Structure 1
């Protein structure tokens, strides 16, 4: 049986500098899908000049941030001393744990001739015991992201988080969770089954498509019922279509979100702010970190 859509919605503008951003989650219908509590779509655009400002150094606590760079070059700094660049197709994952400061700068890919910039940022809520641990970090280049070709030989599934059939992401799973990038060529079809109580959402970044026999437009975020069933993705356009499919088991603890922090109580939020203002998250040493990579 095919899962039914619970709702669909468009995002709200949340631009940062030159980046045009559509905020998809949270939205007026949902605060979370499985452990995912935040989704920004940095919409595709041609970048004419190098951006040197980045997002600006800012704190996080209680979540893992995940930047998936479809097109571009993402530079990461944080107060735990981590530094890396990833390029088109790559992933920056940071477990903020008990507190960290980070900064990211997204530019066009210096390794290609394209000036196209296109990306996503997710926040993944952490279990309370992981929120209390030290931060962790992974930089994953596009060539290292697990990919499975589909039977037509042209369509494929990339596993950003979780497992699909016989391939798995290196990103840690603190609960049952998944994040797939599914690419379907014209006329292609893909179907996947989900167990009871699993929360699932889909997003169409660039091309309209048919999902479980309903037509959805570009920029639509769709969440589905929580009954066991399948999701069928169908591309009836004359060009390739990409789908973002993500979710997992429901987060079992209370959720309190304020600014860059996602915790389990109002007191936890207050402590997160107190520790930040007391300087306990450290500082970013930009020059030192960048010099280590050269």
Structure 2
């Protein structure tokens, strides 16, 4: 019997000058554990006249996790951070009560051809952390726990699972695991997971409960402790999730909160341009007008 409760397909979404595949939120499943937003960026080739430019924009009530497979992004924010993220590293920005950041092609690459491919993820904060001071951490690829079991390679991108802990400074009980297999293998890891879990197929396929599933889908499990599947050769999947929060989360544009009033305050603050500025990056994305 299948343990898959819901299948979520990528849907095209525009984030400015760049199209992405939107995975979460989904109308039938707003969150998986504390994960509230997942975009699959690319793969896409940008020529010397194109750049990845997400102008300054605000966040509250969440942490962002940027994880690249190809390309490079320069992160800048209003608490003074300027950090280039490269494939395999993690940028973890916690907005708390409010932060503004931009994501752009680094200056030294702006006249070059560039491949872009990766995941942009939002993780909602626990209620008691929603108004914390903003923070930023950059974790190099070499610091992410990575190990192999036969033909299967694992990475614990964030959180705790499989007897390991990632150095990414998360604020709730969660996990994000990369699994790559060179050959067909049956994996049973549910006894080391908890809460809710989703499985995202980046490339290749998996078999579970008599069904085969392909790329660009999230499979949401009925019970993370029953997580067992067969991964095909040359496949890459990501398993993510964790303990869900007891309170509902609201999402409006780039704002996440358990309190609608905090979202309304953030909207007004952004419209008044009182969130703060990124030095040397004065452009910004206006709050979208609702029709």
Q: Give the structure-2-normalised TM-score.
A: 0.87
The 8 Å contact of residues 9 and 222 in structure 1, kept in 2 or not, is answered as yes
Matched, 1:254 2:248: yes
Matched, 1:286 2:261: no
1:230 to 222, 227, 230: 227
Separation in 2, partners of 1:188, 1:106: 38
Matched, 1:203 2:200: yes
The 8 Å contact of residues 192 and 232 in structure 1, kept in 2 or not, is answered as no
Please give the per-residue CA displacement for 1:230-288, whole angstroms capped at 9, x wherever unaligned.
Answer: 332421x4xx110011001112122111111011122121122233344442110137x
Following TM superposition, the consecutive aligned residue runs of length 4 or more in structure 1 with deviations greater than 4 angstroms are 50-53, 194-197
Separation in 1, partners of 2:248, 2:34: 12
Q: Give the structure-1-normalised TM-score.
A: 0.86
Separation in 2, partners of 1:195, 1:261: 32
Residue 266 of structure 1 corresponds to which residue in structure 2? 260
Residue 94 of structure 1 corresponds to which residue in structure 2? 93
RMSD: 2.6
The 8 Å contact of residues 34 and 177 in structure 1, kept in 2 or not, is answered as yes
- Residues 24, 123 of structure 1: alpha-carbon distance in 2 compared, 3 angstrom cutoff: same
- Residues 176, 213 of structure 1: alpha-carbon distance in 2 compared, 3 angstrom cutoff: farther
Matched, 1:245 2:239: yes
Question: What are the equivalent positions in structure 2 for 1:37-186 lying under 5 Å apart?
Answer: 37-49=36-48, 51-52=50-51, 54-106=53-105, 115-152=114-151, 155-186=152-183
- Gaps of at least 5 residues in structure 2 are 282-291
- Gaps of at least 5 residues in structure 1 are 288-294
How many pairs are equivalent? 280
The 8 Å contact of residues 17 and 53 in structure 2, kept in 1 or not, is answered as no
Separation in 2, partners of 1:136, 1:275: 20
Which deviates further from its counterpart, 77-86 or 156-165?
156-165
Residue 290 of structure 1 corresponds to which residue in structure 2? none
Residue 284 of structure 2 corresponds to which residue in structure 1? none
What displacement does 1:207 show?
1.9
Separation in 1, partners of 2:193, 2:82: 40
Separation in 2, partners of 1:53, 1:72: 10
Residue 187 of structure 2 corresponds to which residue in structure 1? 190
